[in-house]
Amino acid sequence: MSTAEGLPLNVIEAGWAATPVIATAVGGTTDLLGDPPAGVLVPPWEAVGTTADRVAELLANPSLASALGKALQARVAARFSGTVWRERLLELYRPFLEGEPLYRRQHG
């Protein structure tokens, strides 16, 4: 639970393990969990007791917990596998690898 997030590695790790998450709906967490979310998102101002009730509800519903864990695992596999990361990096750096000057790419 936090008030700000970049790319929450703990959520990615939970996804690899198909573990359901309850996380604060801030920053990169909302992007990572997607829409509809592959986890339970709570507002950062939510009362601690309400968040505890959400945890209890998830623990009481193993089929929902399993479905959310599997959905997160599929999302992480599709967006954060080694192959996906490598292809994205190559896409970003291909102009530099091919010797195209940055100025020419930006200004024609």
What pLDDT, in 10s, does the model give residues 77-98?
998 888 888 888 888 888 887 7
Closest to 23 measured CA to CA, from 49, 54, 61: 54
| Domain ranges for the chain | 9-80
pTM: 0.77
**pLDDT score of 102:** 60
DSSP H or E run through 41: strand 40-42
